[in-house]
Amino acid sequence: MRKPIEQLKMKQRPYLIGISLNMIFVLSELVFAKLAHSTSLFADAFHNLSDVLALMIAWLAVVVFGLQATKRHTYGWHNMSILASVFNTILLIFAVITIFYESVRNLILPENTVTTGWLVMVVAAVGIVINFTTAMLFKASGVPDEHGHHHEQDLNAKTAYIHLLADAGVSVGVIIAGLLIQVTGWHVIDPIVSMIIGVIIAVTSWPVMKSTFNLALNGVPDNVNESDVLRYLSTHEGVEKLHDLHIWPLSTTEAAMTVHLSVKKNVDEQGLLADISSDLREKYDISHVTIQIETNEFDQSCNVI
C-alpha cells in the first residue's frame, strides 16, 4: 500500500515546486514590471501567472488520479486529467490573447514613460532560471495507472513542460528587448518583441492543444493507432468478424476499448480473450479492454473507425 502512495507523492512534487517558485516570481515580476514600465515584462508576468493556475489544476488532476473508483464513478476520477488539460489550454490561449492586446495597445497608444532596459534584463534572466529549472522536473514525468503500469508522459505534465519552456522563451525575448532598449533607446521594441513571443507560444503549443480537444471529444488518443488495432483484430486467427469497435480516452494517459467479436468454430474462447486482451494492453497501449464474444453469424457490417 505504501508504493502507490509514494508514487503519488513523487508525481505531485514537480507541480508543488513549480507552483511555489513561479508564484513567488510572478508577484515579484509584476512589481518590477511596474517599476521598469515594461509591457514585455508585464506580459511575461501574466503568462507566468496563467501557468501557475494551470499547474494548480494539473496538480489537482494528479491528486484525483490516485482516488479509488466508486459505485457512481466506476472509472474513478481519471477523466479529471482531461478536464484539467482543457482548462490549461484555455488559459494558454487567454494568455496569448492578453499579450497581443497589451502589445497592440502600447503600439497605438504609447505611454509617456521610459522603459528601464537593464532592470527588464535582470528580472527576465531570473525568470529563465526558474522556468527552465522547473520545466526539467516535468521532462520525464509520467503517471502510473492503478495496475502500476508506467505510461508515456502524461498530457498535463507535457502541457506544464511546454508552458514552462515557453515562459523561458518569453524571458529570453524580454532580455533581448531590454538590451535593445538600453542600447538604442527605442521603446517601441518592447511591445513588438512581446507580439513575436506571443506568436511563438501559440505555434509551439498547438500540438498539445489539438491533442487536448481531441481527448475532450472522446477521440482516439494520439498514442493509439486505431488502424493497427482494427487490422490486428480483423486478421487474428481466431476471429471471424467484428463490429462495434470503439476506442476512447479515460484520462490523458489511459485508453479504453470495446468490441464485439464473432469467433471461428472450435476456438478456445477464454484463451482467445486472454490473448487479445494481453496484446491490446502491451502492444497497443489500451489499458481497459472489454470484448463481447459472439459465436453466431451476424448481419452488422464491421465498424470502420
Using the 3D structure, point to which of 175, 190, 216 is the last residue of a domain: 216
Cell 495597445 sits on residue: 105
* Tens-place pLDDT, residues 157-168: 676 777 777 777
- Cα 37 to chain center, whole Å? 33
208 shares its domain with 247: no
Write out the three cell numbers for 163: 508552458
Furthest-apart CA atoms within the chain: distance in Å = 86
Residue 120's domain comprises 2-216
Residues 22 and 140 in one domain: yes
What's the rounded mean pLDDT across residues 190-209? 80
* In contact, 249 and 212? CB cutoff 8 Å: no
Domain identity same for 66 and 211? yes
**Confidence band, pLDDT 50/70/90 cuts, at residue 142:** very low
Most confident of 19-33, 83-97, 189-203, 290-304: 19-33
Q: Is residue 209 part of a domain?
A: yes
Both 10 and 126 in one domain: the answer is yes
Q: Answer yes or no: do 24 and 54 share one domain.
A: yes
Check residue 298 and give its pLDDT. 53
Q: Tell me which of 296 and 109 has the higher pLDDT.
A: 109
The stretch 110-132 carries a mean pLDDT of 79
Report the pLDDT averaged over residues 192-203: 80
- Look at residue 26 in the predicted model and tell me its pLDDT: 87
Higher pLDDT, 284 or 66: 284
Per the domain annotation, does 305 fall within a domain? no
- Same domain membership, residue 116 and residue 89: yes
Mean pLDDT over residues 206-223, rounded? 88
Domain boundary among 216, 240, 268: 216
Is residue 72 a contact partner of residue 192, using CB atoms and an 8 Å limit? no
Sign of the torsion angle spanned by Cα atoms 128, 133, 134, 140: positive
Q: Is the domain of 199 the same as that of 283?
A: no
Q: What is the pLDDT of residue 220?
A: 92
Among residues 167, 294, 205, 15, the alpha carbon closest in space to that of 175 is found at 167
Least confident of 3-7, 33-37, 108-112, 114-118: 3-7
Given 181, 216, 251, the domain boundary residue is 216
Domain-located, residue 304: no
Q: Does residue 300 sit within a domain?
A: no
Q: DSSP letter at 167? A: H
Q: Among residues 152, 145, 179, 197, which one has the least CA distance to residue 40?
A: 197
pLDDT at 62 over 60: yes
Instruction: Find all residues with CB under 8 Å of 27, minimum gap 6, and list them.
Output: none
Tell whether 137 and 264 lie within a shared domain: no
Residues 179, 79 within the same domain: yes
Sign of the dihedral through C-alpha 139, 143, 147, 148: positive
What is the tens place of the pLDDT at every residue in 144-157?
444 444 444 456 66
Residue 240 Cα to chain centre, angstroms: 39
The CA-CA-CA angle for residues 54, 152, 171, to 5°, reads: 40
Is 112 in a helix, a strand, or coil? Answer: coil
The total domain count for the chain is 2
> What does the block give as the cell for 124?
527576465
Q: Give tens-digit pLDDT for 230-250.
A: 999 988 888 888 888 999 998
43 pLDDT higher than 60 = yes
Q: Is residue 18 part of a domain?
A: yes
Residues 241 and 208 in one domain: no
Look up the CATH number of the domain holding residue 32.
1.20.1510.10
What's the whole-number mean pLDDT along residues 83-107? 82
Residue 206 and residue 232 in one domain: no
Give the model's pLDDT for residue 154: 59
What is the average pLDDT across 170-181?
Answer: 82
Contact 97, 19 (CB under 8 A): no
Whether 200 is in a domain gets the answer: yes
Please determine, for residue 176, whether its predicted confidence score (pLDDT) is greater than 80: yes
Q: Is residue 225 helix, strand or coil?
A: coil
